[in-house]
Structure 1
Amino acid sequence: MIEPIVPAVLSQRDKPGDFTGNCMRANVNRVVERLRSASEPSLLDRLEAGKLRIVGASDRFDSGTVDFCDES
């Protein structure tokens, strides 16, 4: 459970700001990139044609809101 997020955490060690938030956003971005590159051919065709987007987001349990991460 922890192993998949280790690269995101390590990438944020020396970054300014909220460490936990930075780690969460880095992990979301890593997962989005992994999904974009490892999708099935039928999904890749739609991604490349602009008919499908994979976007990262996180939910806030305290407020019920969803925060969408910046796309890179």
Structure 2
Amino acid sequence: MITLQYRGQAYARHDAAAEQLHYDRSAFEARQRQARPAQELTYRGRSYLAAGHDPVASHGQFCYRGVSYSR
């Protein structure tokens, strides 16, 4: 039997039959279709546009970490 050491703990390998796992892609695709993208996100009290919007087309006053920017 093989014993492994990880962060001071000993772990023994168990000889069990291997099991093939699979991922049901249709479940992921169904949830992805149901999800609605957020148009506006808020982080630490400030609003931001969600990805998917063209940041080049945004104009106005912006503030990031206390520094103001205008575009």
Q: Give me the TM-score of the superposition, normalised by structure 1.
A: 0.23
| Structure of greater relative contact order (alpha carbons < 8 Å, 6+ residues apart) | 1
Q: Which has the larger radius of gyration?
A: 2
Which structure: greater strand fraction?
2
